[in-house]
Structure 1
Amino acid sequence: MVPSHATQGGVVPSAPEMDARLQEDRRTPAGRERTSRAEAGALPDGVFARLDGDVGLWQDGRRLLWSMNGYGAPLEVAAEVEVEVLTPRAAMNVMAAGYEPVVHPSAQGAN
């Protein structure tokens, strides 16, 4: 696993610095939600994205729809489909570098 600071130029950021970076990635200066676009096939495990109005967790190249009751069964999504990424860019970079996020038990058996 690659340490998270490897995606930040080799410097280990402090907790307040991480919070500030994540907040910058989450919100515009006006306070609006900041999202990005990406192809489904480019998403690392642990990223949350919206497709057709539904939010899901990407795991093993598939989408697990989220609900208040946990995660649903894995759904195949074509790699070239564009989705709206909700995960902050800095967090997504850490996941892409090899960090394995801990997921809710309802998502763990979805492989």
Structure 2
Amino acid sequence: MLDSSRDPIQFNPGPHDVRIVQGAHVYYVRAIKRGELFLGGGLAGIEGLVFAATIGVLLHLRNAKDSHWKVGVVRYRRDGSGLIRVAHKEKATSLAGAEALRERLAAKVRAGGFAPERRGTS
């Protein structure tokens, strides 16, 4: 299991997530079912609970017939400054395709891909 206890992420890493520390950033390459969110957050209180429960039921019904996946790269600064961003995302039509895509994107992260562009360096 991933050690994310100190990460300021807004989701619980699952078995289809890869955590990579690269320079000043932490990356999660995530494979999730279509309809799930790369990042958490949203409504709070009873309104949020009712909304989440309603959406959860609808997504469950749709996902029971649908096997599509999304694979993406979530990035944030190790020092906690800045925003947590979805740096890249793609679609896959099967779990096997999502896992292969996740591994390809993880290799790209390890090679320096998806690093933020430096501003003011021309």
TM-score w.r.t. structure 2 length? Answer: 0.23
* Higher RCO (CA < 8 A, seq sep 6+): 1
Higher-Rg structure is 2
